[in-house]
Structure 1
Amino acid sequence: MPDVGSDLMPEITNPHDRFFKEVFARKEVAADFLRNYLPADVLACVDENSINLTKDSFVDNELATHFSDLLYEVDLHDGSGAYVYVLFEHKSFPDSEVAFQLLRYMVRIWEQACRQRQLKKLPPIIPVVLYHGIVNWKISRKFSGMFEHPRALAPFVPDFSYLVCDLTRYSNDDIRGMVLLKVTMLLFKYIMSEELRGQLPEIFKLLKDLSDKESGMEYLQTVLIYLSKSTDKINRENIKEALKIAFPSEGGEIMPTIAEEWIQEGFERGMQQGMQQGMQQGMQQGMLQTARNNVLDILEARFETIPQSIFKRLKEINDPDILKMLLKKALRLSSMDEFRKTMNIILE
């Protein structure tokens, strides 16, 4: 297999991105993920213990806020090689164009592989989307799902399938793997949910077997900093209380005092980012209003009258990605009623 990686990881600023890459860069975690989340027939082709992380990212810069990615090389049992490409989508709703994004990234991987080694055949790529939003993944898992065409044209439409690990559909018991992987997946599942506070003690309890090991303490530090920086569903006291329940000690004190230092470190980093974000907030509000107005202008130009219900719903949307999606729908859909139904589905 050609080495498609560079020597340095790009700078990571998004807390979800940083946590994902810190954990999934561990070979044992990546191999455990393949064992537990690849379909059985796919896993049967792969030597998961041969997994090797490359150092490249293929996500477009403008999408880096909402997507992270890691590329692994693996050996196949037939003696050939393949890639496993994991795209981590940390958005509150699924992106309807993810298959198109995956195609672009896969082509870049093949192009880079061909530049670095003369290949008679292209290595297969197994694309996996890891999703932890707040609504279920309902988008087609085939690239051909992006097309509408007469049946006679089907042979001319490119196609591939991708796997989706949709954590919104997993119960806690469904989330499998060794402790590091299971804790990570549970945190991803609940990080955007109001249930996080109640789930946190049980998640921390899973770490008890690792708490007296150096690697376990390093991972706990990573978890605490991630929690401190990535969610508004809990506060510092919630984290400390969850630690107290999971790691009781004499006198009822929270486990190692150093844990408090890690929490503080996370919140201080979060506060610095918050100050920077606060300076941009006014600008962002203006951009959101412009995005809403753009959708309304298109609807008015195409359909003349806009129902008050649509005005009201658009005013309540504060996610620029949803507004961008609705702008595309406003340009393409054939009636106001079709736009309203589509908007309701997106906002469910």
Structure 2
Amino acid sequence: MMAKNQIKLYNIGYRKEEQQQLPIVIPLVIYHGKTSWSIPTSLGANLNGYEELPKDVKVHVPDFDYIIYDLSGFSDEEIKGKVQTRILLTLLRDIFTKDIDELIHSILKCIHYLLELEDKQTGIEFLETMIRYVFSAANNLTKRDMEVIIKEIETTFPKGSEITMTLADIFREEGIQKGIEIGEANALAKTAIKQLTAKFGCLPEEMKEDIKKLDVITLELILSNIFNYTHLDDVKKIIS
């Protein structure tokens, strides 16, 4: 009944737009991971058991090839288009695949791209978006790296320096808070392992590793119920 209603609703929307045909959709994947793309580029090859289906069933299962753009192989010369597009693709290409010095070089290059924008307000807004992305995605940036970026902005794009300084302070505070949370989780994990070992004896190494990966809330839950557990399976239910 639900499927029938869904089809009915779709047909109403379809007639409302007075469209006689569906639009053409070309599937496209833009990839910027740490390693090269290795997944098959056809939908059927990614469907479990698709090749074993009978022909009369296959005709009812969608299968198509999608276009893959693996940005890691693009050179600066191949990245073209408007300023915002070049900045976006450059950062996506380099944020995970370059060492820190090369990444800094790319970031500084993108700052210079902003000078090509005639509307400086648009440049400031895009700069804010760019720096937010860089500071959050590139978690290996040091204080010195951030200072280099800020100095370049102050020299090249001074109107955006105030925003950058504010964002730098925000992300620095978030980094400190994250460090505090990690430290607290590590301490709670050690306590949980110690108390569970005292109650049940030696714990499996796999369980110890799973406990070390838990967040503060889950670890506090385990510790608050430590005396209620009758078997390690009770703990495994919480961990999983």
**Fold shared by both chains (TM-score > 0.5):** yes
Higher helix proportion (structure 1 or 2): 2
Corresponding residue for 1:129? 29
Distance 2:123 2:73 in 1: 28
Q: What is the CA-CA distance between 1:181 and the residue it aligns to?
A: 1.4
Shift of 1:172: 2.0
Q: Which residue of 2 aligns with 1:224?
A: 131
RMSD value over aligned CA atoms?
Answer: 3.9
Shift of 1:135: 0.9
CA distance in 2, matches of 1:150, 1:280: 47
SS of match in other structure, 2:80: coil
State the Cα deviation string for residues 298-324 of structure 1 (Å, max 9, x = none).
xxxxxxxxxxxxxxxxxxxx9xxxxxx
C-alpha distance in structure 1 between counterparts of 2:9 and 2:81, whole Å: 31
CA contact (8 A) 2:150 2:165 kept: no
The percent of aligned pairs where both chains have the same amino acid is: 23
Are residues 113 and 152 of structure 1, via their aligned partners in 2, closer, same or farther at CA, if it must alter by over 3 Å?
same
* Equivalent position of 1:201 in the other structure: 108
> Aligned-pair distance for 1:150?
5.5
Task: Return the letter of the residue paired with 2:13.
Answer: R
5+ long unaligned stretches in structure 1: 1-109, 294-317, 319-348
Distance in 1 of aligned mates of 2:108 and 2:8:
45
Matched, 1:262 2:167: yes
SS at match of 2:69: strand
Query: TM-score normalised to the size of structure 1?
Result: 0.42
Task: Within 5 Å, give how 1:160-179 maps onto structure 2.
Answer: 160-179=64-83
Aligned to 2:93: 189
User: Do the aligned partners of 2:29 and 2:69 also contact (CA within 8 Å) in 1?
Assistant: yes
1:205 aligned partner, one-letter code: H
Kindly indicate whether the alpha-carbon contact (under 8 Å) linking 1:247 and 1:255 is maintained by their aligned counterparts in 2: yes
Under a length normalisation based on structure 2, what TM-score does the superposition of the two structures give? 0.58
Amino acid at match of 1:199: S
Structure 1 residue 216: Cα displacement: 0.6
Residues of 2 paired with 1:211 and 1:243: CA distance? Answer: 22
Aligned CA distance change for structure 1 residues 202 and 118 (closer, same or farther; 3 Å): closer
The Cα shift of 1:191 comes to 1.4
Aligned to 1:240: 147
In 1, Cα distance between equivalents of 2:77 and 2:10: 42
Residues 261-319 of structure 1: CA deviation (Å, up to 9, x unaligned) = 23222333444455556656777xx9x945x99xxxxxxxxxxxxxxxxxxxxxxxx9x
1:158-207 CA-partner distances (Å, limit 9, x unpaired): 31232222212212222222111111111111112323123222222111
Q: Does 1:114 align with 2:16?
A: no
1:263 maps to a residue whose letter is: A
1:159 is aligned to 63
Counting only pairs closer than 5 Å after superposition, residues 77-88 of structure 1 correspond to structure 2 as none
Cα deviation, residue 113, structure 1? 7.5
